[in-house]
Amino acid sequence: MKQPPIISMKKICKVFPLEIGGEQQVLFDISFTINPGEFVAIMGPSGSGKSTCMNIIGALDSATSGVYELYGKDITTLFPDELAKIRNEYIGFVFQNFNLLPKRTILDNVMLPLMYRGLPITERLERAREMLKLVNLEKFESYLPTQLSGGMKQRVAIARALAGNPKLILADEPTGALDSKMGNEILKFFKKLNKDLGITIVMITHEFEIAQYANRVIHIYDGHITYDGAIPKNESVLLKSEQKVRKQ
Ligand SMILES: Nc1ncnc2c1ncn2[C@@H]1O[C@H](COP(=O)(O)OP(=O)(O)OP(=O)(O)O)[C@@H](O)[C@H]1O
Ligand SMILES: [Mg+2]
């Protein structure tokens, strides 16, 4: 049986109310599908709407209008507690600043998403240790996050993201807080997860060099998709695509 797309967005718009009154539209008719096994970069300048789009993909926020289906299920109008369940079941998150609990060990951090699943402690431990091994940190399970380098912290975050066996990894600027050597190591690891384990990855970045680790790029400018396709040879193709919006 053909698998449904992991993500299907149809004419998604997002409008934020402004504190000073009025409102601001941040996303305009965003439509795309992402199939199982893809590695997609979402690119665009600061303020273009990448994180807003990612928050909707990740069921952390809902769209103002449009239809969003995650793994064939319409989640546009779910309530927050239902969205939380969907997030826990389907999505692993990786953030720029790792978002690890500072006072908990590495092992506890990785076990955390499994707590909500009602798994017995022995299974949670086994799964978390397996994931730490996958990111080559099995010797560090009793360390605290503050005792690790940035690259290692991000590997813990990836282990945590993978622990619940998600269909999708969402990464918002995953190398933004790392030097280029550690950043490349993380990107190579994502590439491996995608290629060898078939994990679908959606990664936000504003750097073309980083987007090249993906197989497809969606370029957002001022809340509009201006390019969606294979990674072009040159960034100028993406920058030129922005003119479509500027001319409007
Ligand atoms: N909760 C909010 N309320 C009001 N406006 C918001 C909110 N969140 C984001 N915005 C606005 O939406 C626009 C897009 O923001 P977003 O964070 O999605 O951009 P981004 O592409 O992720 O930028 P960056 O590269 O700087 O992270 C910005 O103008 C921002 O000020
Ligand atoms: Mg952002």
**Pocket around ligand 1: residues whose beta carbon is below 6 Å from it?**
16, 24, 26, 44, 46-52, 206
148: containing domain: 37-61+86-246
Total-model pTM? 0.92
Q: Quick check: is 104 in a domain?
A: yes
**pLDDT of 124:** 93
Give the pLDDT confidence of 194-226 residue by residue, as tens digits. Answer: 999 899 999 999 899 999 999 999 999 999 999
Q: Quick check: is 23 in a domain?
A: no
Q: Which atom of ligand 1 is nearest to the CA of 48?
A: 21
Q: Quick check: is 80 in a domain?
A: no
Outline where DSSP puts E strands in 35-102. Answer: 39-43, 65-70, 73-74, 91-95
Give the pLDDT confidence of 19-30 residue by residue, as tens digits. Answer: 999 999 999 999
**pLDDT of 244:** 85
Q: How far is the CA of 57 from the centre of ligand 2 (A)?
A: 13
Could you give the angle at the alpha carbon of 208 between the alpha carbons of 92 and 225, nearest 5°? Answer: 75
Q: Quick check: is 228 in a domain?
A: yes
Domain count, the chain: 1
Q: How far is the CA of 97 from the centre of ligand 2 (A)?
A: 12
Percentage of the chain modeled with pLDDT above 70: 99
Q: How far is the CA of 54 from the centre of ligand 1 (A)?
A: 11
Alpha carbon of 42 to those of 47, 106, 108, 207, 210: distances in Å? 13, 29, 31, 10, 10
Cβ count within 10 A of residue 240:
13
CATH of the domain at 144: 3.40.50.300
* Three-state secondary-structure class, residue 169: strand
Q: Quick check: is 145 in a domain?
A: yes
Q: How far is the CA of 51 from the centre of ligand 1 (A)?
A: 7
**pLDDT of 119:** 84
1 pLDDT tier (thresholds 50, 70, 90): low
Q: Quick check: is 236 in a domain?
A: yes
Name the least confident of 128-137, 138-147, 174-183. Answer: 174-183
Give the pLDDT confidence of 57-75 residue by residue, as tens digits. Answer: 999 988 999 999 999 999 8
Is 90 exceeded by the pLDDT of residue 40?
yes
Rounded to an integer, the average pLDDT of 104-110 is 96
Single-letter amino acid code for the residue at 152: M
Q: Which atom of ligand 1 is nearest to the CA of 220?
A: 21
Single-letter amino acid code for the residue at 35: N
Q: Quick check: is 192 in a domain?
A: yes
Is 80 exceeded by the pLDDT of residue 248?
no
**pLDDT of 228:** 98
Percentage of the chain modeled with pLDDT above 90: 74
Rounded to an integer, the average pLDDT of 144-158 is 94
Q: Quick check: is 110 in a domain?
A: yes
